[in-house]
Structure 1
Amino acid sequence: MDLGLADAAGEPVAPERRVFADDGRIPNSRLATLVFRSRGVNPVLDREAIAERFERLFSANDWQPSWRGGVFDYHHYHSTAHEAFGVLSGWGRLRLGGEQGDDLELRTGDALVLPAGTGHCHLEASRDFLLLAAYPEDQPRLDLLTADPAEHDAAVARIAKVSHPARDPLGGKAACWWL
């Protein structure tokens, strides 16, 4: 409740779903990118308290918190793991899906789940923009691939082997969002 990501019954908020086509450079995914919008973070929480809440929430749902930081300012993706972000502070605008993809603004308390293969790139952000990244427990190794057509086919083969977690990082059944 402190992050504004649950409804009155304590269930995770329903995400926005976005699907991006393979552009020949970035594979993207047939699975939807999930955008969970916070309904408002408890104003008494500072950035460290927000980070602790996200870490507990992600860990409880078998997504392991990994690092804090921002997003690279070039189009890239991961072919060996799904990736989740929790916004700890500020706001940022990302482009998802490759150069011709969609822009998305995230704010404190929002969460984002990128299926393996989904392109993402930092466009602009507030000075205090900070993310917490997490990955499913069985996907501890992360690669970093750019929009290079020479890597595309091998990446698609790896993406097809990435397991689907039972739950999204907020506790919802990922399978219901990833139809």
Structure 2
Amino acid sequence: MTIRDNRLPVDDIDIRRLAAPRGDAIPNNDLYPAIILPSVLGGKNEPATIHALYARNGWGGAWTWQVFDYHHFHPDAFEALAVASGGATLMLGGPQGEEIEVASGDVLILPPGYGHKQIRKSDEFRICGA
């Protein structure tokens, strides 16, 4: 397996921060926003390449699938998500949150308690999480 070195100068990275208010069923996170890095990995990536990137950066338990189609959150863990292929519409921040479009090469980092849900996806959509 060949792993590309896709490091970019920080000035060349579009970093989006998305804070969401506490909801009735979804706590979100008062200290940390969700971080969205559009196209930071370039285009389509093989899941094995993303899993190796996670491992090199100390993120264990990598998986490839999609996002659940119901609002959920992880109470005590940050979650890294990298879109390997295709695209999807996600709701971040629970029912009171914001819809975002994600596509191949996008990376998201969700803090503990931050709600997320898949609304729709392309047939090719695959996301790698850790």
Does TM, scored on the shorter chain, surpass 0.5? yes
CA-to-aligned-CA distance 1:56-92 (integer Å, 9 cap, x gap): 2211111124211111111111102111111110001
The number of residues matched between the two structures is: 127
Query: Which residue is equivalent to 2:16?
Result: 16
The within-5 A match list for 1:25-64 is: 25-30=25-30, 31-38=32-39, 41=42, 47=45, 50-64=46-60
Aligned counterparts, 1:108-123, within 5 A: 108-123=104-119
2-structure distance, mates of 1:14, 1:64: 25
Q: Which ranges of structure 2 fall in alignment gaps of 5 or more residues?
A: none
CA deviations 1:84-123 (Å, max 9, x no partner) are 1111100011001111210011100111111010000110
Judged with a 3 Å threshold, the aligned counterparts in structure 2 of structure 1 residues 10 and 119 are, in CA distance, closer, same or farther, namely closer
5+ residue gaps in structure 1?
135-179
Q: In the aligned structure 2, how far is the partner of 1:72 from the partner of 1:89?
A: 17
TM-score (norm 1): 0.63
Q: Which runs of 4+ in 1 moved over 3 A?
A: 9-12
Deviation digits for residues 11-63 of structure 1 (CA, Å, limit 9, x no counterpart): 88352111111012100012010101115736xx6x5xx32321222111111
Q: What root-mean-square deviation, in Å, do the aligned CA atoms of Structure 1 and Structure 2 show?
A: 2.5
Greater C-alpha radius of gyration: 1
For 1:15 and 1:29, the matched residues in 2 are separated by: 18
Please, which of 102, 106, 126 is the counterpart of residue 106 of structure 1?
102
Quickly say closer, same or farther: Cα 1:61–1:40, change in 2 above 3 A. closer
Report the equivalent of 1:131. 127
